[in-house]
Amino acid sequence: MRWLEHLYVTAAAASGKTLARLKNYDQASGNYHLWVMIACALVVVACVSPSGEAQRHPQGTGRHSMRIHFTRTGGLAGLPLTATVDAEALPLEEARQLRALVDRANFFALPSVLAAPSRGADRFQYTIIVETLERQYTVEVAEAAAPETLQPLLRWLTDVARQARRH
């Protein structure tokens, strides 16, 4: 019976009616309206995550399923900078931007190692691992060897890693 009470509360919140009014309406009209309320409540529940927050992406579509592990080492201080970005956890527009940066970099066509002709002690080294539903690919790139198409993605990931370190 507790689930029915929860259903009434959910249906009342969704319809803007009072809980007592919904219960009286159901008793007077029979099971048909109960099933209508159940269907409405299931739609409402399906659109909300267990934490009560609206979902950012439709589940199961995989459209923006991408996880990126980013590490930057080297530099003057030699402090590593790391971040893991899950596109599913990003707002939809930001996930699209991330996907576009990966696509513009032609990431999956890059060599797995892009070394600089000479190694500088104060230069950065980047390791980027991109995981999608279809594949996983790692690129290790020296700062001086990074192609222009990859640089916007490196800047974006560096900014995300800096923000994560501050928090």
Give the tokens for residue 111.
């060599």
Residues contacting residue 28 through CB under 8 Å, at least 6 positions apart: none
| Statement: residue 122 has pLDDT above 70 | yes
Sequence-distant (6+) residues with CB within 8 A of 112 are 137, 138, 139, 140
Mean pLDDT of 159-163: 94
Quote the tokens at residue 57. Answer: 């992406």
Got the DSSP string for 37-104? HHHHHHHHHHTB-TTSPBPSS-TT--TT-EEEEEEEEETTT---EEEEEEGGGS-HHHHHHHHHHHHH
30 vs 26: CA distance, rounded Å: 6
Q: What is the pLDDT of residues 28-73, one digit of tens each?
A: 555 434 433 433 333 333 333 334 443 444 444 455 589 999 999 9
Determine how β-strand 124-132 pairs with β-strand 136-142.
antiparallel
pLDDT at 83 (0 to 100): 96
Q: Where in the chain are the domains?
A: 2-46, 66-166
CB-hemisphere CA count at 13 Å for 129?
Answer: 7
